[in-house]
Chains A and B, each alone.
Chain A
Amino acid sequence: MAARELPESVSAEAEAPARSPLGLAWARLRRKKLAMAAMTVLAVLYLSGIFAPVISGVLGKDYSDQNLPKAQHGPDGENWFGTDILGRDIFIRVIWGIQTTVIITLATTLTGSLVLGVSLGLMAGYFRGKTDTAIMRLGEVVSSFPDILLIILIAATLRPRIVEAVRDFEDATFFSGLVSTGLVDFIVIGIALLPLTWFGTMRLVRGQVLAIRDAQFVESARATGVSTARMLARHIFPNVVSPLIVTISFGLGAIALSEVVLSFFGLGVQVGRPSLGRMIGETIGRTGSSGPSVLQNHPEQLIAPIAVVFLMIFCWNLLGDALNDVLNPRTR
């Protein structure tokens, strides 16, 4: 189960830039029922994650509240998804787990795909030559690592260093309890997933830039003495937005899955803060050896976190498909 994204098409790189404005695309998207359903599901999931503290507050339950006498209890009116082995409410833990995933996917996408990927892609495509070669080669090195192993390796080697750094920071300032908020985990996972996220976006953006940099409107802009930065931002970037949206949509599901896998092995989110991967790992064991037993005896402990993981991957891909259709219309 790697961080894998579905290739949207065999010839994605060579695609022509979208000609339709985003508004038009949106109008077309709204006619796609499945896509809208997927968006709704994602909205519900992400909102419940973002507002997990509020939901917790309203229900008067915390994700760490233990109720030992009611451990491993099936779903009922009080615990909608049942309770785990320590009697903690699975529903509350799942929405907090979603929050963890949301933070990590957004942070990784922002830094990896958007900031790094787009800027490097713009640079490579626009300047070409040595810059292009250097960036492309770097990407090739990174992408020639076996992905999941690299993530595990980075997470395992980086964590202690980052924990130390954050602790030092806590000691030096009046902040406290940063480690237990999961900040360290977010940093570690973010960095570990970074190598996987930027290269795809970079290549895409680069391809788009290469395709349009000699186009008429860019030529004329250049002729009027527009600065390079301005040119990239005003004229070239808008043209790569559509394919970018599609890539990110596919990527979000993949990143979410990677985080889950990492936490499953105990290398992502640490004890204390709920995470979907950790919930699954804690239930079926690091080698999955309790999986059949749990499915047989206490399936509810596994179903909720797995259903959320499933829905995230499924809906992001469904949405990605739809976006691809409306943003990059082809003659079909």
Chain B
Amino acid sequence: MLTYSLRRLMWTPVLLVFVSFFVFLLGTYGPGDPVEIRLGNNYTPELAERLRDRLGLNDPFPVQYGRFLGRALRGDLGESLTFRGRDVITLIGPKLLTSAQLNVAGAIVAFGFGTPLGFYAAKRQGTWIDPSLVVGALVIFALPVFLTGPLAILVFAVNLDWVPVSGWGGLFDYRVVLPALTTGLPGIAVFVRLMRASTLDVLGQEYIQMARSKGLRASVVNYRHVARNALLPIITILGFTIAGLFGGSLITELIFGIPGIGRLALDSVFSRDYPVITALTLLGAVSLVVANLVIDIIYTLIDPRIRLR
């Protein structure tokens, strides 16, 4: 397991180079000339030429890519085309942090509701509770954000006036509740299923039977042995949920007016702000890769069975 992790660690930079190359390629040969867009109606061939020179867009592709790579290695991902003089990193940084917090909040919702329900369902296997919990979770999973987001605003913010419609104060601010619920809702089903499957696996293991037969109290067996062991594989997925920076929260961010990466990502695609697009994609890839690694390492550390190998 550790060697596997190490091998992947070594593979990571190569992976990122591939990713950056692909994105850079799309940016260079994609439609929409950033220079023309930036100049708009003031476009003159001379002005465009000068700007292209300054931005280095006249160089051949390998030169441009090489320069990009060199800078990226030093932590410089260039300047936004839309927001002049804004370093892409400083532009993205705070937004990334916001999105990450929203994802953590969403993951907490998904995990917090999902695992107990999944555990409960597994314990009640064979009764009506188990299938109805699973189906119920599926219902929640299938509800699109298009509906849950506006509905949450209408019910909890406008009609009941419990929370504000908009605003963002970070993970520990009460305004995080609605967006977190909206983002985390589909995830509940994921954790219900995982926890259920995992618990069933553990329940079938010999050591649990043994613990029971030794006469340990049911609650001790349930929580010290079954739940803990069943949770182990779940951590993997929890990591991925948090790392998936763009997926679940894009529309949530738009609807709740959260200053995260979502709106910036959309706007930069629409305005062809290629440095921002490239940076976002790269950072997204990095976060996924890093999340993978961290999970592996945590996994190795906490699971005695793996450590022994």
| Interface residues, chain A, with chain B CB atoms under 8 Å away | 1-4, 6-11, 34, 137, 140-141, 143-150, 152-154, 156-157, 159-161, 253, 257, 260-261, 264-265, 280, 284, 286-289, 291-292, 294-296, 302, 306, 309-311, 313-314, 317-318, 321, 331-332
Contacts and interface: CB of A to CB of B under 8 A. Distances in A.
Interface stretch (B38-46, B49-57, B197-205, B301-309): B197-205
A291 B270 contact: no
A306 B145 CA distance: 10
B134 A321 contact: yes
Contacts of B236: 10
A145 B284 contact: yes
Given A144-B285, A291-B146, 20 more contacts: A2-B246, A2-B247, A34-B135, A141-B19, A146-B244, A147-B246, A148-B250, A149-B265, A156-B270, A161-B31, A253-B142, A264-B146, A265-B266, A280-B146, A288-B150, A292-B153, A302-B146, A313-B141, A314-B139, A317-B142
Given A149-B281, A310-B143, A284 B26 contact: no
A286 to B, nearest CB: 8
Interface of B: 11, 15, 18-19, 22-23, 26, 30-31, 131, 134-135, 138-139, 141-147, 149-151, 153-154, 158, 186, 189-190, 193-194, 197-198, 200-201, 204, 233-234, 236-237, 244-248, 250-251, 254-255, 263, 265-266, 269-270, 277, 280-281, 284-285, 288-289
A152 B154 contact: no
A8 to B, nearest CB: 8
A317 B138 contact: yes
B119 to A, nearest CB: 14
A280 B280 CA distance: 27
Contacts of A147: 244, 246-247
Nearest to B232: A10
A10 B191 CA distance: 11
Considering residues A10, A147, A257, A309, which has the most beta carbons from chain B within 10 angstroms of its beta carbon? A10
14 contacts: A4-B247, A143-B288, A144-B15, A146-B281, A146-B285, A149-B277, A153-B269, A156-B269, A156-B270, A287-B254, A288-B254, A291-B150, A309-B146, A321-B134
Contact of B149 (A291, A311, A313): A291
A262 to B, nearest CB: 12
A159 B141 CA distance: 31
A295 B251 CA distance: 17
B19 A157 contact: no
Nearest to A306: B147
A159 B31 CA distance: 9
B276 to A, nearest CB: 11
Given A7-B190, A156-B270, A157-B30, A146 B284 contact: yes
Contacts of A146: 244-247, 280-281, 284-285, 288
Nearest to A156: B269
Contact of B18 (A7, A141, A284, A286): A141
Contacts of A291: 146, 149-150, 153, 255
B59 to A, nearest CB: 21
Contacts of A280: 144, 146
Contact of B146 (A6, A34, A288, A321): A288
Contacts of B248: 1-2, 4
A287 B255 CA distance: 6
Given A154-B26, A261-B251, A332 B144 contact: no
